[in-house]
Amino acid sequence: MAISPARTIAYETLRRVEAEGAYASDVLHAELPASVKAEDTALATELTLGVLRWRRLLDFLLDRSLKKPVAKLDLPVAIALRIGLYQLRHLDRVPASAAVNESVELVKRARKASAATLVNAVLRRAASESGGLIEKLFPQDLSPAERLAILQSHPTWMVERWLARLGPSNTEGLLKANNRTPHLSCAINDVDRREAITSSLAKAGLRVTPGQLLKNAIAVTGGSPARTDAFRHGWISIQDEASQIVPLLLDVHPGDRALDVCAAPGGKTPTLVRATGRAGVVVAADRHAHRLRAMRAHFERVGLRDVAIVELDATKSLPFGAKFDRILVDAPCSGTGTLARHPEIRWRLRPEQLAEFHALQAGMLMMALAALARGGRLVYSTCSIEPEENDEVVAKALAASRSVRRVTAGEMARALTKHLVPGVEAEGLFDRLGQFKTLPGAQDCDGFFAAAIEKE
């Protein structure tokens, strides 16, 4: 029996995520060239990300029919079971027979034919009872956090800390948002071509709607914008709206010297280049050569030629003789604000890593502040929603640095207002300290943090 291309690609992607530590989005990009049919691309993406989002709940349900936990089975068997059960519980349009039979074929192709009978029996049983209420299967002594963590398929430690900090309502909203397919937003790189861009995307079969926050953002559904002429020509870039906002908070002026410290893959740098103009200087830096190569390719696609690309270690003294008027430190982080887009993070991240990220980020911020000119502004940002990586990093830098101040909420709002869709109140995007914060579930975008510091 032949296996559909979509299931083959999903299986291979999940195998590489588990066995090699790869990121699903990167593997899917490589495994889904333009020659793959649109319907196969859509199903492969749905299966891959759906299984990663719901892995804990899938394993909880599968374990009831197994002699040992699914996590301890041979990896090909575990993946085939998860793919099969995800289809049975989440994809109404997929016939149960296809979900079961192709999962059996997957283990045979992986040379685990001895497990074919097991996969067949477990999934057929699951097909017969897929409509049952899950809560009835929980032990009576299960804690509320554990119950919620299983139902919404997150690690218990994450749910416990979010409940303590955000409360039940916001936590449940966050968990549900992490399990939904996130909006696909694009930044318009050439605003003069806006009508041509939307027309080109529509001709490619995509539905385009205005951004919810930014004038120069659009939301796209019905296909992949990366396969369109608008993307190939560099007219648009795929970028979440919260991510698009971060470089705008620098309030860059024509002629400024701007530094993007952790620039790769380069999504925020174009905003700096457009704002500085021909009279300005923009330096885009990163530590790893392969990321610099990817960033250079991105700059070529969007037509950025006047950018100095530098390889450096941002945890050490920055190798520049002159100071910068504007510095962006979009620091490496846990990524807990992007769990809908990168669901594998939730299974890899360990609580002790938050302290490790804190030390790394604080070091980067201190080095960057030393390169900031008097009267200059630095924006520190992450795609994390954890205080150890956000509020506490900024507070530590402010306490240790002389002649710096936090930019107020009012100042931040004034810099951002001109970029926002009419009716969106800039003040609502900042906390009382002037820190930009978004939370999945509360806003329809990724979870981001940004704070601005100026040197007096």
Task: Please identify every residue annotated as catalytic.
Answer: 383
Residue 46: name the closest of 99, 97, 1 by CA: 99
| Token pair of 198 as six digits | 């939307």
Q: Residue 85 phi/psi, 5° resolution?
A: -70, -35
| Residue 17 near residue 344, CB atoms below 8 Å | yes
CA pair distance 30, 384, nearest whole angstrom: 26
| Token pair of 15 as six digits | 């195998």
| Residue 441 near residue 183, CB atoms below 8 Å | no
DSSP state of 133: -
CA pair distance 43, 194, nearest whole angstrom: 30
**Helix (H), strand (E) at residue 328:** strand 324-330
CA pair distance 453, 250, nearest whole angstrom: 10
CA pair distance 3, 98, nearest whole angstrom: 9
Residue 225: name the closest of 262, 264, 189, 191 by CA: 189
Q: Which residues pair with 219 in a beta bridge?
A: 185, 209
DSSP state of 132: S
H-type helices in 179-281, by residue range? 194-203, 229-232, 241-248, 269-276
For residue 321, count CB atoms less than 10 angstroms from its CB and return exposed for 0-12, middle for 13-18, buried for 19 or more.
exposed
Strand 324-330 vs strand 372-382: parallel, antiparallel, or unpaired? parallel
